[in-house]
Amino acid sequence: MKRPATHGVTLADVARMAGVSEITASRVMRDRGPIRAETRDKVLRAVAATGYVRNGLAGSLASARSNLVGVILPSHTNNVFPEVMAGIGQALSRSGYQPVVGVTDYDPATEEALVRSLLAWKPAAMILTGLEHTRETRRMLETASIRVAEIMDIDNRPIDLAIGFSHLEAGRASARHLLARGYRRIGYVGHDLDADLRAAARLKGLVDQLGEAGAPLERRHLTGGASSVQRGRSGLGALLAQHPDCDVVVFSNDDMAVGGVFHAMAEGMDVPGRLGLFGCNGLDIGQALPKPLSTLRANRQRIGEIAVERIVMDDGPETGPAIIDVGFEIVAGATA
């Protein structure tokens, strides 16, 4: 197997230069086992002199473990995921792990393909979003014998560990809050819920609770596509055109809700006097509005952090599938 001897400085080169065996150099690099200070110095000098960069592929292959962690998120555009990613990224870097990232665009088949190719890197752990996966995805994750965290949702049985909150319950809580405030003619503006199962679960909770309270949710407008400020703005316009009698509108997401607030502002509508607006997800932006958005918030960054802490830093005994409910809170705000 000939290949042009590239600049590739190997551990062997370093060891030779330092006058030690390869394994000793390896131990110095990894801070493993007892090494005489003098020996360590020799090796480190050789490393500096050669500009050696360790080959993680070879190392991980030999030791059958890597410091890579697979992270699969549904979307780049939905603002909640950068936040989750921030939590994950920070916690990982603290512990010397590195994320390999994939995005599914809410498609289970894409997710399956991603899981397959991420598993190829023998990651130390895997973080994915939600609890719904294809049968094959579950199979692969179960046989991989690595820790798996499923984040955001806890309304089902996880493969290993679920971290998040109940979206169904979140929907119900929103409903109770609005009912308590006296709203009865409730409207809903949502994005594409076929894909976003968690937003759909929140809606279901909302619908159920409102139905039980005798104020069924009949005024709805669904826009296609991903959630965005723009769609929230136009969506509220469309909803009100059809159902001008709404006294409050719930949005599938905070960015949608912010759009709603902007629509109301542009129309000079009195919020919450004439119309209440209620979001979901507690994005920063909503809280910086002139009137802070009434919404439902979960600490997403924390979800990412906990996921990492539990599956990569925790060496504790495996205890079977576990669920961590980080809960959520109603942010009263000033718009509903």
Partner DNA sequence: GGAAGAAATGTCAGCGCTGTCATCTCGGAG
Partner DNA sequence: CTCCGAGATGACAGCGCTGACATTTCTTCC
297 contacts a second copy (rule: CB under 8 A): no
103 contacts a second copy (rule: CB under 8 A): yes
233 binds, options a second copy, DNA, none, Cβ within 5 to 8 A by partner type: a second copy
Nearer to a second copy, 15 or 103 (CB): 103
Of 36-44, 238-246, 301-309, 319-327, the segment contacting DNA by CB under 7 A is 36-44
Exposed/middle/buried for 29, CB within 10 Å: 0-12, 13-18, 19+?
middle
119 contacts DNA (rule: CB under 7 A): no
Of 151-159, 185-193, 201-209, 230-238, the segment contacting a second copy by CB under 8 A is 230-238
Exposed/middle/buried for 288, CB within 10 Å: 0-12, 13-18, 19+?
exposed
Nearer to a second copy, 87 or 205 (CB): 87
31 contacts DNA (rule: CB under 7 A): no
Minimal distance, residue 314 CB to a second copy, in Å:
21
Nearer to a second copy, 23 or 213 (CB): 23
Among 21, 23, 32, 90, binds a second copy (CB under 8 A): 90
108 contacts a second copy (rule: CB under 8 A): no
What's the CA gap between 296 and 336, in Å, rounded?
11
23 contacts a second copy (rule: CB under 8 A): no
Among 35, 44, 100, 193, binds a second copy (CB under 8 A): 100
Scan residues 37-56 and list those touching DNA (CB under 7 A).
38-39, 52, 54-55
Contacts with DNA by CB under 7 A: the residue count is 33
- The three state secondary structure string of 248-313 is EEEECCHHHHHHHHHHHHHHCCCCCCCCEEECCCCCHHHHHCCCCCEEEECCHHHHHHHHHHHHHH
29 binds, options a second copy, DNA, none, Cβ within 5 to 8 A by partner type: DNA
Binding site for DNA (CB under 7 A): 1-3, 8, 10-12, 19-24, 26-27, 29-30, 32-36, 38-39, 52, 54-55, 58-59, 61-64
